[in-house]
């Protein structure tokens, strides 16, 4: 499977991507505000995730603590299809443990959401140090290269604000399965350089299963 840098030759200098997990620690480098581990979801994980999407209503689950057995048991009880949840849960725990190790913390905030519309449709920058995002089903998050961003347009919508996007053709999108670490404005040294991103637009009947992790 080619790396994102190979399949997207115009990857901006502030982004790094690879198919090896060693790409994720590069988020600590000043040069990058997004680090992407590109991966193809294993078939059993994809099917397990899809089973949780076969419901008429959006839902969300959140957990603050360690990604331990108590987390798995609590989430399993609340999933729409708990009998099909094991591959998804195992994958979530593997990712969560890796993020906790990377940021040297025992406490992380995990959120899993089934969406049927864009959660944050406007391009924005998170007001926190860093967030992990991965999409298990449906379209992935979209983000802007710095050269296509007018940061004067960020913030609450206002008729006097300029457009944020200066080049629509430059918009990037994560694929389902990709694991991305995104710097926000709360990261020391990135107060004015956090990644600008948004939720993808969704068509009628489309769903998206999104997991985010915030190191505490």
Give the DSSP letter string of 147-162.
GGB-GGG-SS--TTSP
| Rounded average pLDDT over 118-147 | 92
Residue 23 has pLDDT above 80, yes or no: yes
CA dihedral 50, 53, 59, 62 (to 10 degrees): -10
Residue 126 has pLDDT above 50, yes or no: yes
Can you give the pLDDT at residue 205? Answer: 85
4-153+162-215 is classed CATH 2.20.25.650 = no
More confident residue, 159 or 139: 139
Answer for the pair 45, 88: CB distance below 8 angstroms, yes or no. Answer: yes
Can you give the pLDDT at residue 2? Answer: 34
φ, ψ at 206 (rounded to 5°):
-80, 145
| Rounded average pLDDT over 43-49 | 98
| Rounded average pLDDT over 2-13 | 54
Lowest mean pLDDT among 112-126, 131-145, 189-203: 112-126
Kindly state the tokens that stand for 20: 């090896």
| Sign of the dihedral through C-alpha 99, 6, 187, 63 | negative
In this prediction, what percent of the chain has a pLDDT beyond 90?
Answer: 81
Residue 7 has pLDDT above 80, yes or no: no
In this prediction, what percent of the chain has a pLDDT beyond 70?
Answer: 94
Which of these, 7, 36, 34, lies nearest to 19 by C-alpha position? 36
Unique residue bearing structure tokens 């997990």:
21
Can you give the pLDDT at residue 155? Answer: 82
Residue 12 has pLDDT above 70, yes or no: yes
- Quote the mean pLDDT of the chain: 92
Residue 143 has pLDDT above 80, yes or no: yes
98 CB-contact burial (10 Å; exposed 0-12 / middle 13-18 / buried 19+): middle
Domain regions of the chain by residue span: 4-153+162-215
Task: Please report how many Cα atoms fall inside a 13 Å half-sphere around the Cα of residue 10, on the Cβ side.
Answer: 9
| Sign of the dihedral through C-alpha 185, 30, 35, 140 | positive
- The pTM of this model reads 0.91
Contacts of 28 (CB under 8 A, 6+ apart): none
> Could you give the 3-state DSSP secondary structure of residue 215?
strand
Residue 1 has pLDDT above 70, yes or no: no
Can you give the pLDDT at residue 11? Answer: 85
Residue 61 has pLDDT above 90, yes or no: yes
> Could you give the 3-state DSSP secondary structure of residue 180?
strand
Kindly state the tokens that stand for 98: 């890796």
In this structure, what DSSP letter does residue 22 have? G
Q: In what order do the strands lie in the sheet with 34-37?
A: 15-18, 34-37, 179-183, 130-137, 208-215, 108-115, 59-65
**pLDDT digits 0-9 by tens, 88-107:** 999 999 999 999 999 999 99
> Could you give the 3-state DSSP secondary structure of residue 212?
strand
């Amino acid at each position: 499977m080619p790396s994102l840098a190979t399949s997207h030759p115009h990857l901006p200098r502030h982004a790094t991507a690879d198919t090896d997990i060693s790409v994720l620690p590069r988020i600590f480098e000043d040069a990058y505000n997004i680090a992407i581990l590109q991966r193809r979801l294993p078939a059993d994980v994809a099917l397990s995730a899809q089973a949780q999407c076969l419901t008429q209503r959006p839902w969300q689950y959140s957990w603050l603590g360690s990604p331990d057995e108590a987390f798995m048991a609590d989430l399993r009880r609340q999933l729409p299809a708990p009998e099909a949840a094991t591959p998804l849960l195992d994958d979530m725990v593997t990712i969560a443990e890796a993020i906790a190790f990377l940021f040297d913390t025992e406490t992380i905030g995990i959120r899993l959401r089934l969406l049927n519309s864009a959660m944050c449709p406007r391009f924005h920058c998170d007001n926190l140090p860093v967030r992990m995002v991965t999409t298990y089903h449906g379209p992935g998050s979209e983000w802007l290269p710095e050269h296509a961003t007018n940061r004067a347009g960020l913030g609450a919508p206002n008729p006097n604000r300029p457009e944020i996007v200066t080049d629509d053709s430059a918009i990037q999108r994560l694929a389902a399965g990709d694991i991305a670490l995104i710097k926000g404005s709360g990261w020391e040294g990135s107060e004015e350089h956090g990644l600008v991103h948004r939720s993808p637009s969704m068509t009628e009947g489309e769903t998206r299963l999104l997991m985010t992790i915030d190191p505490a």
